[in-house]
């Protein structure tokens, strides 16, 4: 077993176990922390696929910004045993059935997808995920949307100031 | 390209102008001058005099239909700012910033009329709506305005999420973000099983855009937001933004009509009827004129959806005519509404006695919205329904249903006219300038001229 393969299996197991822990753990703060672990494991996978940029963005944006936001909301809501909404049996049953339906569809899809059967991800090669290639693409083919998104950010910034400033 | 670049630029100029200029009247004049510059630059491109050429790599497509639509919405914005510019500046403490946000929103609308790539669709929709969230909540002391802003923001971001999901599925099905018909160059790599993602993605995009144009059953945000927002901004939202949403809709679904199989032909009439039903029937029971106009704008969305159902020449001309007729009348009625002190029907009692010009012009606007002959609204509706019959005579039942709902709409528009002319009372208004009256008369005259000769406008399109 090569070293990349060992890392791959380790990261996969970590991602799956953490994802289960997100759902299973009682305290919402623990759930969020497990979710951070999931994101780190997935970022590890991205690095294995030679996509450094997406790995870094995944950590900065998801594990960093969005998770902090999640924690803020949780702490502001001050969740505890008393305020937890009571879920009745029917609600749980509907949840299980609808979730189970999705699971069946996903499993049957993967079973039918013959084109990916027996193939493994190509690691350590390919340059699509490199920052250099991405930058070149962004400033040639996608330069118009790139520039126009600045209008979007500018209007959002003006909006934030208009809304947030004291009269 | 000129319209996009200049509308963004005048937004920046307006924003920086706000640092120097504090006086509301001069802010308004600056906005009007900037809009004239925008219109001039756009017309220069339209007549091939001056054009900033940028290699867009197929992101934007210059097309006649979109260019003509841009001319219409820029002119309408100019008219809107001339008519209610002082109200915009008065809506809160940041007059110049409100104008800047309006210009950015206009920039989004011009992107939507020429996008050729789903990435640009996303950016256009966002640039158009994000300033509106802020404008809706601009009356900070008013709890209703705050609520409307938050509601619009939450619902808007939710629908944007659906739009992105749809774009991702579309990419999965075709292998490209461009909206041209067919499948991308790496089509061989996409297995036949994945093609199913394309209609699914189109459905998601459809839902999201239906939300933006407030078609039922995605219309629930509309009455609250339109009612809660300051009346001047409601006017902008209900006209320019809404019609730009329809143009985005038509651009996408015209090119993708191949993928719209039998089931689409069932889905769309269903949505049209639901929208007409939800808009017209609920509007009947309203007590406030502003809320009634919000529901009536849902009903008009139902009529505009006809252009989507029948993407033929009649439908395309019809949507242009509808944009002009509906926007002129709505801008007019909302301009009168902002001058009223009481927004209920009772507030309009006896307006004809105290302010005859306002009452007379408002009557013409309402008649046009109802689609009475000799006004622009009649031909707008006529073109929409004719497009359905032109496509296939089997659509006759849909046309009959639409005509019935148009008859229902006459009821609630006439209630306002009845209050103005036949009820005793003294309708209170804020101070009205002679210039405002002159503009109202000009708009009313435009509605009647287009109502008599719609070809005048449509000939411009082919000229």
Answer yes or no: are the C-beta atoms of B242 and B213 closer than 8 Å.
yes
Cβ-defined contact of A148 to B100 (cutoff 8 Å): no
The per-residue pLDDT for B407 is: 93
Q: Closest Cα partner for B246 from B347, B141, B109?
A: B109
Start-to-end C-alpha separation, chain A: 66
Residue B386 pLDDT > 60 = yes
Residues in A closer than 8 angstroms to B8, CB to CB, are 148, 151
Can you give the pTM of this predicted structure? 0.89
Answer yes or no: are the C-beta atoms of B43 and B34 closer than 8 Å.
no
Residue B381 banded pLDDT, cuts 50, 70, 90: very high
Q: pLDDT by residue (tens digit) across A77-93?
A: 776 666 666 678 888 89
ipTM: 0.89
**Nearest CA distance, A1 vs chain B (angstrom):** 31
Chain A contact present for B61, CB below 8 A:
no
Residue B387 pLDDT > 70 = yes
Residues in B closer than 8 angstroms to A138, CB to CB, are none
Residues in A closer than 8 angstroms to B100, CB to CB, are 155, 158
The per-residue pLDDT for A69 is: 86
Nearest chain B alpha carbon to A141: B57
What Cα–Cα distance (Å) separates residue B272 from each residue in B298, B326, B371, B409?
Answer: 10, 17, 18, 15
Q: pLDDT by residue (tens digit) across B441-457?
A: 999 999 999 999 888 88
Q: pLDDT by residue (tens digit) across B91-131?
A: 878 889 999 999 999 999 999 999 989 999 999 999 999 99
Question: Which of B56, B120, B131 lies nearest to residue A159, judging by beta carbons?
Answer: B131
Q: How far apart are CA B151 and CA B155, in angstroms?
A: 6
∠ CA(B126), CA(B130), CA(B135), 5° rounding?
150
Residues in A closer than 8 angstroms to B94, CB to CB, are 162, 165
Q: In whole numbers, what is the pLDDT of chain B averaged over residues?
A: 89
Residue A127 banded pLDDT, cuts 50, 70, 90: confident
Residue A145 banded pLDDT, cuts 50, 70, 90: very high
Residue B295 banded pLDDT, cuts 50, 70, 90: very high
Cβ-defined contact of A144 to B60 (cutoff 8 Å): yes
Cβ-defined contact of B119 to A152 (cutoff 8 Å): no
Please give the interface size between A and B, counted as residue pairs whose CB atoms are below 8 Å apart: 76
What backbone torsions phi and psi does residue B26 show, to the nearest 5 degrees? -75, -30
The per-residue pLDDT for B294 is: 94
Per the structure block, which two tokens stand in for B185? 């160059």
What residues contact B355, with CB distance under 8 A and at least 6 apart?
B427, B429, B432
What is the pLDDT averaged over residues B335-355?
A: 89
Q: Closest Cα partner for B326 from B299, B288, B289, B356?
A: B299
Chain B contact present for A145, CB below 8 A:
yes
Question: Which of A145, A159, A167 lies nearest to residue B93, judging by beta carbons?
Answer: A167
The per-residue pLDDT for B193 is: 62
A148: three-class secondary structure by DSSP = helix
């Amino acid at each position: 077993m090569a070293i990349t393969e060992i890392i791959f299996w380790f990261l996969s197991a970590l991602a799956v176990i953490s994802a289960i822990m997100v759902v299973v753990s009682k305290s919402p703060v623990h759930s969020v922390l497990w979710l951070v672990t999931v994101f780190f494991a997935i970022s590890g996978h991205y690095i294995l696929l030679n996509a450094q940029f997406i790995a870094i963005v995944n950590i900065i944006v998801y594990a960093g910004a969005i998770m902090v936001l999640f924690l803020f909301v949780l702490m502001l809501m001050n969740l505890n045993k008393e305020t937890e909404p009571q879920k009745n049996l029917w609600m749980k049953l509907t949840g299980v059935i609808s979730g189970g339906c999705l699971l069946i569809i996903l499993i049957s899809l993967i079973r039918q997808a013959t084109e990916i059967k027996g193939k493994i991800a190509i690691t350590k090669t390919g340059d699509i995920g490199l920052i250099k290639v991405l930058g070149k693409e962004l400033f040639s083919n996608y330069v118009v949307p790139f520039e126009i998104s600045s209008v979007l950010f500018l209007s959002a910034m003006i909006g934030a100031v208009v809304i947030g400033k004291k009269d | 390209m000129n319209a996009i670049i200049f509308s963004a630029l005048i937004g920046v100029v307006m924003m920086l102008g706000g640092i120097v200029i504090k006086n509301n009247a001069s802010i308004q004049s600056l906005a009007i001058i900037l809009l004239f510059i925008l219109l001039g630059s756009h017309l220069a491109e339209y007549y091939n005099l001056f054009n900033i050429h940028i290699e867009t790599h197929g992101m934007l497509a210059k097309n006649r239909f979109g260019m003509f639509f841009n001319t219409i919405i820029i002119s309408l914005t100019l008219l809107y700012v001339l008519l209610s510019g002082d109200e915009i500046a008065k809506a809160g403490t940041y007059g110049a910033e409100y104008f800047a946000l309006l210009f950015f929103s206009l920039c989004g609308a011009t992107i939507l009329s020429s996008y050729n790539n789903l990435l640009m669709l996303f950016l256009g929709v966002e640039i158009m709506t994000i300033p509106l969230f802020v404008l809706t909540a601009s009356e900070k002391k008013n709890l209703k305005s705050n609520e409307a802003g938050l509601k619009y923001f939450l619902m808007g971001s939710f629908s944007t999420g659906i739009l992105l999901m749809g774009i991702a599925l579309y990419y999965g099905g075709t292998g490209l973000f461009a909206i041209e018909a067919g499948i991308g160059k790496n089509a061989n790599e996409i297995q036949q099983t994945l093609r199913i993602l394309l209609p699914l993605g189109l459905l998601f995009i459809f839902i999201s855009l239906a939300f933006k144009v407030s078609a039922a059953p995605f219309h629930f945000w509309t009455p609250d937001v339109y009612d809660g927002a300051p009346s001047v901004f409601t006017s902008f939202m209900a006209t320019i933004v809404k019609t730009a949403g329809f143009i985005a809709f038509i651009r996408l679904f015209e090119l993708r009509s191949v993928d719209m199989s039998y089931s689409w032909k069932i889905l769309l009439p269903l949505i049209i009827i639901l929208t007409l039903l939800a808009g017209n029937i609920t509007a009947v029971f309203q007590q406030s004129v502003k809320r009634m106009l919000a529901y009536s704008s849902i009903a008009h969305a139902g009529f505009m959806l006809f252009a989507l159902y029948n993407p033929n020449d009649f439908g395309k001309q019809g949507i242009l005519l509808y944009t002009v007729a509906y926007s002129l009348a709505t801008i007019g009625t909302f301009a009168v509404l902002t001058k009223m002190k009481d927004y209920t029907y009772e507030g309009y009692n006896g307006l004809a006695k105290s302010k005859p010009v306002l009452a007379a012009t408002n009557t013409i606007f309402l008649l046009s919205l109802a689609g009475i002959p000799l006004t622009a609204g009649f031909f707008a509706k006529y073109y929409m329904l004719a497009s359905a019959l032109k496509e296939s005579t089997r659509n006759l039942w849909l046309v009959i249903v639409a005509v019935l709902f148009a008859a229902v709409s006459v009821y609630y528009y006439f209630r306002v006219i009845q209050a103005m002319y036949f009820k005793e009372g003294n309708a209170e208004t804020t101070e009205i300038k002679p210039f405002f009256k002159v503009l109202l008369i000009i708009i009313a005259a435009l509605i009647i001229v287009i109502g008599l000769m719609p070809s005048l406008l449509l000939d411009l399109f082919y000229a």
